Chain A
Amino acid sequence: MGVVALVWLMAPEGAWAQGGGLEVEARAGVVVSTSLVEGAVALPGAPPGGSVQEFRVVPVAAPLVVVAGRMGLSPGLALELSAGWTFGRLEGEQGTETWRVGDLGVGHAVASLRRRVGELLHVRGGLGLIHYGSDAGLFEGGPGLKPVLEVGAGADLDLGGVGVSLSAVGQAHSFGTAALRSGGGSGIRGQDGTVFRFALQAGVFLGGGLR
């Protein structure tokens, strides 16, 4: 779906005229995420197919702030550069147990194309980098920077002269750490995988000329 959106965003459209104008936007919202790690264990020596307990480590729903700048490329089309930070924490879940794994900060920076749809709506898609930081053992050795795909859609409103936006955003990126890959030195080799993040954001923007 994200790929379709990107292709559509980048499709040439002869009717687009010359662009111009700048906007700056501050957004805040809430982000949820799929698991950073999933696993399953059974008692050593248990017969195959015996009782297995699954566990997962997942970022809890967390506040997110984003600052974005936009430059018009043509009427209805803008280039957006955004950077955001999530103030989160990691939680483990298995059976009836949950536990706090550690604090989690997630920073991301994305360059995207933003296209207006009608008078109020917009869609956006782009690529960037994402970084996870935490004191949890999982992050020993650091996850480094990972490429991230971002797609979003929303509405832009004029409330008494103040530009307000509401948007939904999805991100996808690969995830893996040195500690995960080495199993913390246990020989239990973790495998990299994909993490999806979803956010609902509200923002205010200054500037104009992009509508």
Chain B
Amino acid sequence: MIPRGLRLVMPMAALAVAACDAPTIPPEAGAYDFTFQTTPPSVVRWPVGRTIRVHVAGGPDPARAALLREAFLEAAAQWESAVLFDEYRFAEVSAVQDADVVLFWSIDPVPVDTAGCPPEVTGARALTWSCPHPTVPGRLRPFTVGGQPSSVRMVVSVQGSEATDPAGLKRVVLHELGHVLGIGRHSPNMDDVMEAHAPVDRLSAADRATIQVLYHVEPDIVP
């Protein structure tokens, strides 16, 4: 026969297992404003679950190319670790035409055709730019490459002088990948990677909270 103690323990254990609600993530806390400063403000992000293909155009100098690639890989890994449910991934691709995003040194030729969507000249250490699709609302304009269609929707340029400071380069690329993911503004907090000039090389709790919220908000524009 079943021992008396076991008769008592098993129903109690059953109650303990079955007494709670579903596992939950509570409403967000600590996220900063990530909307693009359009009128009205818009949410721009990739479809959830998307693998964002990045072509790293490192240029003719192998050492400089390696620096940019290493900065990209480390930044991509940090941003991928910031979400719990694989809302996005980065993948490096070798052909420009197959990329969603192109990353290059500003001292090298732009790998895509920028006619109709030129970069804003800001003098910034790095710049991420894209343009609205001229005919399809809610989408970004694809760039052409050598006059041929491509899937490139965003371009990231990094000042060539950043090559002299690998640690600074990694910070810059980490920041720009935040824009690539859809963070459309700068954080007001110097502890955050997405603050405009923060000397931060690791994502803060607020950076992580912001990207987690962004990928669970309905987008207005999908690249």
Contact = CB atoms under 8 A, between A and B. Distances in A.
Contact of B87 (A6, A99, A113, A191): A99
B218 A95 contact: yes
A52 B25 CA distance: 13
A105 interface: no
A180 B31 contact: no
B195 to A, nearest CB: 16
A188 B28 contact: yes
Contact of B23 (A36, A95, A186): A36
Interface in B144-188: none
A176 B23 CA distance: 7
B24 A149 contact: no
B22 interface: yes
A7 B217 CA distance: 47
Contact of B26 (A6, A12, A92, A188): A188
Interface string B195-223: 00000000101101110110011100000
Interface in B1-53: 1-2, 6-7, 10-11, 13-35, 43, 47-50
A209 B194 CA distance: 70
Name, among A6, A97, A136, A173, the residue most crowded by chain B CB atoms within 10 Å (CB to CB).
A97
B86 interface: yes
A183 interface: yes
B82 interface: yes
A45 B33 contact: yes
B86 A192 contact: no
For chain A, the bracket of interface size reads 35 or more
Contacts, number: 190
Given A137-B83, A186-B209, A37 B24 contact: yes
Nearest to B15: A3
Interface string A39-55: 11111110000011101
A148 B10 CA distance: 11
Contact of A44 (B13, B23, B31, B84): B31
Interface in A90-111: 90, 92, 94-95, 97-102
B94 interface: no
B24 A193 contact: yes
Contacts of B208: 183-187
Contacts of A176: 23
A193 B23 contact: yes
Contact of A187 (B10, B29, B35): B29
Name, among B29, B30, B209, B216, the residue most crowded by chain A CB atoms within 10 Å (CB to CB).
B216
B85 A41 contact: no
A6 B8 CA distance: 10
A136 B85 contact: yes
A195 interface: yes
A194 B24 contact: no
Given A102-B86, A149-B17, A191 B24 contact: yes
B114 interface: no
Interface string B51-88: 00000000000000000000000000000111111110
Contacts of A172: 14, 17-18
Given A37-B24, A184-B82, A194 B43 contact: no
B28 A97 contact: no
A-B residue pairs, 7 tightest by C-beta: A99-B49, A39-B25, A193-B23, A186-B208, A186-B209, A41-B216, A194-B20
16 contacts: A2-B18, A6-B10, A37-B22, A37-B85, A41-B217, A44-B213, A92-B49, A95-B218, A99-B85, A136-B84, A137-B80, A140-B81, A149-B14, A188-B30, A190-B25, A191-B25
Interface of B: 1-2, 6-7, 10-11, 13-35, 43, 47-50, 80-87, 203, 205-206, 208-210, 212-213, 216-218
